[in-house]
Structure 1
Amino acid sequence: MMKVASVKVVSVDFYRELFPRPYMFFAELLLWKKKWSSGFHILLDGYDGFGGLGVGALQYLRDEYPSKSTLVFPTLPSTFPDSTAQQDSCRVLNLMFCLQNVSEHCSLFAPLCLGSKGWRQPGPPRTFPHLLYDASLAYHSSAILATALDTITLRYRCRESPASGLAELCDELSRHGRRAAAASLGLPFAMKPDAFLLDTLETWQGPLWQSLSPNCLLEEDRIWMQSVVLRGITPNRMRNPKKEEEYTLKSNQAYTCTSIKDMLSLFLSCCSYATLSHVTAANSACRVTAPFPQIFSDYVSIDGSISDTKRFENTSVYSVPAIAGLHTSSSVGTMLESLHFQSNRLQFKKFHHFGSAGLEEDEYIECLNQLLQLRECYYEEFDV
């Protein structure tokens, strides 16, 4: 039987013993040489004992580098085969302790899971129109989440990005105490082989992306603030030069856009009421050659465009355009509320191994209250 370890936040002293001083000196020297570095982004398991280890590391970084921003992505598997009710309950408690402690020590965090529910059981997997993936395979689910991470973080990883890119991202999305965000991904960004971005956006139906955070339905919610990254669309595909006269006659505002970033910003401002959007555009597409799994439908061309005919047999997709983002909205509060509900209904005294790990019922109650306080930041009365 699989044993679910309990979360216990590891002390900062543990990390001073774990990492010898020469290694910490090297880390400090690296940060000194890269003074433009505005912080850290951290990927950690949120559902087992490694969550407590990750929170301890996060606390250590905050103590050592208090001026640096920290963006955290707690991850959850998309399936738990052969899991018992007891293990499901332990997982809920682990998630509650982990996310609440992460919220105390980070600048911003966004849970990642391909399951639509995520807590006791991941629930039905998220659907992508042009992907044929098996949610039970970590090989598939991890590739999708990695693509989202690689795209989202382009905002502060590009050479032309400002030195404060990560800090600005965290500051913008965590206003009013909203340290939790939802992640999203559109893979591939669906464009016809010879289409232009303007024509594609004008005829687009449905959401641009799919939520990657549990219990968050971004397509049904008004988003307050968001950071969106579109990659793989080059400037020459912004609009059709043969339709310049048509655009002029229609007084199309999109004709005044001089970049992919401006055009997507205009589109989001028209589609999302009172949403503050930061858009990043990168020319480079996402490389999906081996070892990336071939999970694309037969109608995805080798360059990631969506064709009306099937791809030739024995040919693989080598690159795809993608869109991804981080968002704050009331559905993030729904996510936190659902975790609070699942945690609050459990009788903590029945989980003896949490007590043996050093956790007391008072800590459990305090974590529940603090999680509820974080959830209250996402009511409409606190809208930006």
Structure 2
Amino acid sequence: MLQDSYGGRGILTWGLAPVSHPDSTPMRELYHQLNCTLGTVSMASNSSFFCPLTLRGGLGRRPSAPSAFPYLNYDPSLWYHSSSVLALALDALTLPYRLHRDSVPMWQMADSLAVSGRKVVAAYGAVPLPMMQGSSLPDALTACTEALPWKPLSACPEPDNGRLYGQWATLKGYEGQRLTRSEFSY
């Protein structure tokens, strides 16, 4: 119905899945997996893009461990903890087209992320980004020698080969920090 009423507009869909279900049995887990699969196919076919958000580590039968954020104290099995992290992520993900000034049209965001007919996209986040007061963003990213600080927030993370089809980044709460280095070192 949305496609009929708003043809040519971007329809962005964000699906949410809990980390665990209370009183779960193997049969209920199978039903949850089937519902997630059918929902993903339906949402992807009726949207410009679909981003399934969860901290579960995947929607398969044996998902990996839930996303762990080293600077955040939360229990991913508690729905109010995981939903607050996903709400923060959803706020940051939708910010580019919700700004009052210098906003990006929703269709432009959808077109840049859903390239070559791709419908299902992944989201990553660093909650919080490890950036010290007075430092710059390049310095904070350079300090991450072992691995980048963002963790998957989607049920379908990108392959580990490092290829990206499209990317958007949102930084919030960095009024006093510099996003570029003030001096160059060669």
Normalising by structure 1, we get a TM-score of: 0.45
Q: Is this contact kept in 1: 2:58–2:64, CA < 8 A?
A: yes
Q: Which residue matches 2:112?
A: 172
Quick one: structure 1 residues 88 and 231, their matched pair in 2 at CA, closer, same or farther if it must change by over 3 Å?
Answer: same
Which stretch shows the higher mean deviation, 97-106 or 114-123? 114-123
Distance 1:219 1:144, change over 3 A: farther
Which residue of structure 2 lines up, in the alignment, with residue 152 of structure 1? 93
Question: Residue type of the partner of 1:199?
Answer: D
Deviation digits for residues 241-284 of structure 1 (CA, Å, limit 9, x no counterpart): 5xx3xx2xx35xxxxxxxxxxxxxxxxxxxxxxxxxxxxxxxxx
Cα distance in 1 for residues equivalent to 2:120 and 2:176: 33
Are 2:51 and 2:123, in contact at CA under 8 Å, matched by a contact in 1? yes
- Greater relative contact order (CA < 8 Å, ≥ 6 in sequence): 2
Counterpart of 1:165, as a letter, is: P
User: Which residues of 2 match residues 199-238 of structure 1 at below 5 A?
Assistant: 199-205=139-145, 206-216=147-157, 221-234=162-175, 237-238=178-179
Matched, 1:131 2:80: no
Separation in structure 1 between the aligned mates of residue 133 and residue 159 of structure 2, nearest angstrom: 28
Tell me how far apart the structure 1 counterparts of residues 44 and 179 of structure 2 sit (CA, whole Å): 39
Contact 2:122 2:158 survives alignment (8 Å):
no
Instruction: Tell me the matched-pair count.
Output: 185
Contact 2:133–2:176 under 8 Å retained in 1: no
Give 1:166 deviation, angstroms: 0.9
* In structure 2, C-alpha distance between the alignment counterparts of 1:230 and 1:107, rounded to whole Å: 24
Matched with 1:140 is 81
CA distance in 1, matches of 2:133, 2:6: 47
Q: Secondary structure at the match of 2:65?
A: coil
AA aligned opposite 2:18: P
SS in 1 for 2:77: coil
The AA in structure 2 aligned to 1:196 is S
- Name structure 1 gaps, 5 residues minimum: 1-59, 252-384
Correspondences of 1:1-384 after superposition (within 5 Å): 60-120=1-61, 123-162=64-103, 165-205=105-145, 206-216=147-157, 221-234=162-175, 237-238=178-179, 244=183, 247=184, 250-251=185-186
DSSP 3-state at the match of 1:73: strand
Question: For the residues of structure 1 that align with 2:148 and 2:164, how far apart are their CA atoms?
Answer: 12
Q: TM-score, normalised by structure 2?
A: 0.88
- 1:219 Cα deviation (Å)? 5.7
Q: Which amino acid aligns with 2:7?
A: P
Matched residues in 2 for 1:107 and 1:157: separation? 18
Query: How many Å apart are 1:220 and its aligned residue?
Result: 5.4
Specify every segment of 5 or more residues in structure 2 that has no aligned partner in the other structure, as ranges: none
CA offset digits 1:145-190 (Å, max 9, x no partner): 000010111111112234x521001111112110110011111011
* Bigger proportion of residues as strand: 1
User: What code does the residue aligned with 2:129 have?
Assistant: F
Q: How far apart in 2 are the matches of 1:155 and 1:188? A: 19
Q: Given the superposition, is the C-alpha separation of residues 236 and 228 from structure 1 closer, same or farther in structure 2, using an over 3 Å criterion?
A: closer
In the superposition, relative to structure 1, how do residues 179 and 215 fare at CA in structure 2: closer, same or farther (>3 Å)?
Answer: closer
Counterpart Cα distance in 2 of 1:175 and 1:95: 23
Give the Cα–Cα distance (whole angstroms) in 2 for the partners of residues 107 and 212 of structure 1: 19
**How far did 1:239 drift?**
5.1
Structure of higher CA gyration radius: 1
For the residues of structure 2 that align with 1:203 and 1:77, how far apart are their CA atoms? Answer: 32
1:74: how far off? 1.0
